[in-house]
Structure 1
Amino acid sequence: MILYFRERHDLIAPALHPEEKTRLEALQTMCVLDTPPVHELDRVTRMAGRLFDVPIALVSLVDADRQWFKSKVGLDAPQTPRDISFCGHAILAPGALVVRNALRDVRFADNPLVTGEPHIRFYAGQPIRSLEGQPIGTLCLISPQPREFSDTDAATLRDLAAIVEQYFQQQESFMRAHRAERELAHTQTLFEKTFEHAGVGIAIVSTEGQWLRVNQQLSQMLGYTEAQLLAKTFQDITHPDDLPKDLALVGQVLAGEISTYTLEKRYFHADGHVVWILLTVSLMHDEFDKTRSFIAIINDISQRKIMESELLTLQGELEQRVMTRTLELSTAVAQLREEMELRSAMQQSLQLEKERFRLTLANATDAFIELDPQGNVTAWNQAAEQVLGWTRDEVLHQPVRDLIIPPALRVSGRKGFDQFIDTRPSDHRHMQFPALRKDGSEFPAELTLAENTIEGQRIVNAFLRDISQRKADEQEILSSRWRLRLLTDNMPGLICHVDEHLHYQFTNRTYENWFGGSNGSLIGKHMLEVVDETAMTVAGPYIAQALAGKQVSYENCVTRAEGTRYTHTTLVPDIRGDGYVQGFYLLSQDITERKNLENRLAFEAEHDPLTGLPNRRAFMRILHDTIARSRRTALGVALLFLDLDGFKQINDTLGHEFGDKVLQTFATTLSHTVRETDVVTRLAGDEFTIILEGLDSPEGAASHVASKVLARIAEVSHIDGKVVALRSSIGIATCTGACMLTAEQLLAVADAAMYRAKASGKHTFAVN
């Protein structure tokens, strides 16, 4: 067999670790390189040599350019270059690096440690790591003979390496702690020097405001001794006008909203005068005792504030002088300009007013007619031509009464115009009359007359509007209202409209009949004046929703003279085009018959028709609720299960009708014997129950009730004229304190107890 060995220059040196810088920092932190051997590690390497029967065992630390042996067995050299080291390769592996025969491994065949002393053939190296997981070296085994290395061997090596790794990690922890102590001591010394010799005030303040420590500069600044300040809080010496803002910023720092703040504020000096200061505050966390405090830097800015005040005063005086002189000059210039502009403006305004008036008349939708005191037309706009059919040229200087007033009304129209001219009213005069068009047709018109005087001459302005559409709309509205009233008054439901202040705006006849109104007598009244308070309390939340723009429905109970009535009501918001809710419409239906039927059916579903007592269905619901209350209150519960002794014989001999009367008598006797809070039910046939709750001593209370029941039913001697002897067997189940049984379990226990009572001779009770 021929083995091929590469030349020396083909040697594969170990690569650098991906986090080489961090790895070397971890190694340097331990301060173990070039230090004497330690017994703990030497014992491990000796043990490794013996366990694995190898001549060489090492604790190797891989430095930047060497591997140094902290502990070694079977090797004299203290270190070897890193580029030929096996351990340099081992620290790159996640687990142990095992080389069974180095001559057959291309990485190591040409390695001088293989070709020369110590003639390595077998190598196994387990990485050892720092606290942060960085590989700093290995625990390795070396032999000049090739050999196998099993999984068990690898596990044993890993365990030994863990012991070595623990040593180095302890050393790393110790060195870190030692370095931190040195840095802390240096920082503390630096802080103390800064605190005492700073040219500004420095203080440490508790989160409640108590001065904890102050420097000499702050004491001198405020005139207090250190002891005097430490007996106070910063609130004690802060000007009251500045305190709220300061406390608000303190709150923000404590809440974590800001980390620091700077504030100009005032302190009171020991002699009472005010000291302006610039305050900078930060929050400190003491990691040792987990406390928090503030550090405050305080600069005296009183002199700066005095200078600022003086500068502001001087600036104000200078500005006032400039303003006075400027005002004097401006006033003179303004007066001259005002005189010139006033004349020009008056002319422009007059011209603009004329143009505006002309355009207004030309584009007005109403007919404009100007008259002289005799009633002749002097102006006639385009709208007048369109409305009345006459052109301006046709009507100028013509009497207006002959143009727009029908012949039958001209005499009275002339008298009215003359009266208007003679009285010279200060306000406008309005009237409606049938106006005449050029073609002889008539239309409803509204006329507004106003008198003006221009350059000493009286004129009358008349605005005439065709109100044909308005009249038609008014008639349509009246017709719609009549139809709406007719429709709503004949509906069986209650209908009304209420404004946002809860005043009635509309009510139909049914609504009025319900609440004692007639012919609109409820209009304008507040709902509280009409509807009873209880019903309004129920309706209140729904009315609020309707006024918020939401349609809602609800059922209510209304008290009327003839009794209580139930209604189903729908509220529909009355929303304007701009979104404003100006009230709501109310539609109610009388559902009294339906509610009475529902209530009757609900009663029948849970009550025995013969005795009127709750039936088995109601019994189970009531018992469930009773047990639930017992668990909340921790008070006891008792259940009595009663069976009528000899009832079958009564039925067989005296008939079922008489048997029913016996059951009714039995039920009545039970109901009259127990408390109002106790519940008597009929389960079926001659089986009855009594539920007792809120008991401090359930067994004693139940036994007392059972004895009373047996005594009372024994007193019954005649039913419907016939001699009877009523007897009952009673089974009792109890729960002391919070009952943890289910309703079904409690019933089963009471049933079993009842059968025990029957077996004991009947007409007695038994307790389970």
Structure 2
Amino acid sequence: MWFLGWTYLQQDQQRTEAEAYRRAEASTQAYESYILRALQQIDQLAELVAGNAQLTRSDESLTTLLQQALQHQPSLGSLYVTDEQGEVVAAALSKGKVTAAGSAADRLYFQVHKERRVQGLYVGQPAIGRVSRSWVIHLSRARFHADGAFAGVVVATVNPQYLVDFYNEAQFGQRGLVSVTGIDQVLRARRSGTALQFGDHGGQTALARQIEKSPKGVFLGKSHVDGVLRFISYRVVPQYQLVVYTGLASDEVFAHYQIRSERLIEFLSAATFFICLVTAGLTLLAIRLEQSRRRASLAEDRFQAAAHAQLDPFMMLAAVRLEDGGLSGFRCDLANPRAQQWMGDTGASLVGQVVEPLMPAVLRPHLGRLYAQALNTRTAIEDEFSWHTPQGDVRRVVQQIVPVGDGLAITLRDVTQAHAREQLLQEQRAALEKSERQLLAITNNVPALIACVDLDLVITFVNDTYQHWYGPDATPPLGKALSEHWSPALCEQRMPYVERALDGERVEVLVTSETTGGLRTLQNIYIPDWSSDSVVQGVYMLSFDITDFKRTEAELSRLLYQDALTGLDNRLRLNEALPQAIARARRSGRHIGLLFLDVDRFKSVNDTHGHAIGDEVLKKIARRLTLAVRETDRVVRLAGDEFVILLEDLGSPQEADGVAAKIVEQFKAPLALDKMALQVTVSVGVACSDGTTAADGKELLKLADTQLYVAKAAGRNAFASKEA
């Protein structure tokens, strides 16, 4: 019995450890997804800003872009952009305003990007923010010029606590652990309970030694921070040079096991005592049976031995009759030791005593009726009842009543523990069903389409989001193969990624799909379903609708390059287009022309008629300029009443002069507004180049600006030109 108990405890301990590792692995996998999703969103935002930012100090457009980007990432504390020297050229805070100033040249993240030690997003070490004056983590991405030269960095800051908000006490206990550290062994963020640490250098810790062996795994280790022994699961995230890991405190994991172990040992000790007691009683009974062997028959001896050998209480009762033959009660003719204990061992034998006075008073009417019924009907009866012991415990008992001659054979069995175990099983089953309902409720309410397929690619689960996307009348495709549910085009598009997930790879892919809400952009994640023996048994398929994010991204790009008032290209677009046009002219041998326009005495229009009329005048001028040039020419509003026209593929500089003269002539006709006609003239400066005399667009633009002032000095409403 003790060997079986020890074996059970060993197996229970092994199961508890295995379950702890499984929970830790599941938590780490979910935490890795949480970190990847958060960093990828920030990385996409930083990449958008890096791709569009220009090296213009205090540029209002760039600052506006940063502020709009922050509105879509409320978790960020700030966004700023530096040039190749580390000087901050534009910045935005999620709370408050900041002027672009200062330098990041001494920051580690700037040096890492400048030396090109990393590609993509770099998760920096915790540091004190120079604006917020609080601990932050810098998430940075390098910017590059068109020729590939380093142009500076785009930096987003987050509170270190943001990286460990995944922690919750219900999942990890009071001393569990959620942490993310760098491959450089510098802690980015760590949370255990309410304690938060960051910035420590780990050194040669147990985790570092494990990472050297494998990029992911589990182990049991003691923390050098708080000394707590935990079941640790870790995963290396190579694209961000990070390690994510979670842990469950060993003492919390084994709490229920310790209780079960103590209870089992108590039970085994009590059972050993009772077995020894029964053995002693049986030995005494054997001596007494030997002494009475000559007075009893062989059948009597065998019956007595069988009765006394029973582990359950057993009694033989004889009917006590009145003179008229009526039943008066029952007398005990035989009682085994367990029956003696059951009836209350007072030192006196039960044999020969009337049993009614020995019964609990509350049970006497019930037992009296049953005994009389069994004796009169000669029918065996099985009955269950409960009663309170003198110690205050409630005991449940099953008794068998069998008529034997003019008496009864009574067998009693204590089923209290069996009933308690059954009730515990029912409670555990109810708790499991409740947990399944809660999990299903959560799954059906997350903003993602979740499905599961088995090894045969048959759909085994689909959450309620399916009907939200495809309509309430859409029937979930449970039991269907993916090849039946998906169209041939979708199978060709997505099946290779599903097959990679079946091979054990976590796969992410952006696709488009038609739903009841129209064409949507989806981020699909395919996760292998690993069994306990590390065999893929299916695939979890998650689809996130990122259509609104993509629309916002496109709108930000449009706002970045378009003038809000006139709809023309803005300075940023010109800064990109002009060097490209010069390069094309250099290759083709053709000329390009740059017309720098200024509205004559535009300030008087605003002063006389108001800014609303001034805006309408600018729109009319933009429209007239667009109609005056070719579709291949580019009309740009620099700022205020200044416009630039870029002419390409010119045979000679005189063609640019002809366009300038045409534009001046166009403005001899008044502008027709809603309630008036307004006479407006323009002055034009013309610069022309074949691409070999201008190193970049700035020189050509400066030359056109100079000619503009020549035209104004000549009396306005004219143009002046010069070839570079």
| TM-score normalised over the length of structure 2 | 0.36
The higher relative CO (CA closer than 8 Å, separation ≥ 6) is in: 2
Rg larger for: 1
